[in-house]
Structures are given as C-alpha cells and as structure tokens.
Structure 1
C-alpha cells in the first residue's frame, strides 16, 4: 500500500463523522423547524457510533489481556 491509500483507509470514517457533526452544528445555528430535527439526527450519529464501539465486546486472542 502506498501512503495515499493508507491515509484514506485510516481517515475516511473520522472525516465523514466530522463533516456530519459540522453540518449538524451549522444547521442548528442557522435553521429552525425541520433543520432542528436534522441537526439532532446528524449530531447523534457520532454518539451512536461511539456507543457501539464502547459496548462492543472485544474479539480475538487478547480479550483477557487487560485486566
């Protein structure tokens, strides 16, 4: 793999989450009504993804290594 491929492999999802968060914050600031609901939706997506990975059980050989 080259450096450009490694960059996008690592940073695609974080950049999409940052874009969704930015769009949600901007829509909350400039909009009203439907945009308020849209901002709640876009700002909850990163929290749901974080919660999924926090609650997800670790798999693999080292799952009991850190106690």
Structure 2
C-alpha cells in the first residue's frame, strides 16, 4: 500500500516542490534568484509541452475477431 502512494504521487510532489521553490525565489531575491525562479517555473511548462506534443503510447491488445 505504501509503495502505491509513492508510485502515484512522487512525480507530482516533486513538481510541486520545484514550483514552490521557484515562486519563493521570485519573491525573495534578484539576479541569480530571478534566474533560478525562471528555470524552476519553466520545468512544469516543459513537462506539459512534452506530454501535449508527444503523448505516451498506449499499448492495445489485438483481439481476434
């Protein structure tokens, strides 16, 4: 049961942590902090773009007709 939780939620939690870091970095500093916020806030957008333009393939079973 524990492994099911991490199997499902590990990637969304990491995306949330990275986004939170980017939002905090944008608020607290300038120069390097701004660069870090742009990079970390761009990661979720890149992931969205990857799955929109190149969706994962779904294997279908070939049933005999």
Q: Give TM-score, length-normalised by structure 1.
A: 0.82
Q: Which residue of 1 aligns with 2:38?
A: 40
Deviation at 1:56, TM superposition (A): 1.1
Question: For residue 7 of structure 2, what is the aligned residue in structure 1?
Answer: 9
Please name the residue that 1:49 is paired with.
47
Question: In angstroms, what is the RMSD of aligned CA positions?
Answer: 1.4
| Runs of 4+ displaced beyond 6 Å | none
Unaligned runs of 5+ in 1: 63-67
Query: Who wins on radius of gyration, i.e. which is larger?
Result: 2
Note the alpha carbon deviations across 1:17-43, whole angstroms, 9 max, x for none.
000000000000011111000000000
User: How many pairs align?
Assistant: 60
Q: Which residue of 2 aligns with 1:65?
A: none
TM-score by length of 2: 0.84
Name the counterpart of 2:20.
Answer: 22
Q: Distance in 2 between matches of 1:55 and 1:20?
A: 23
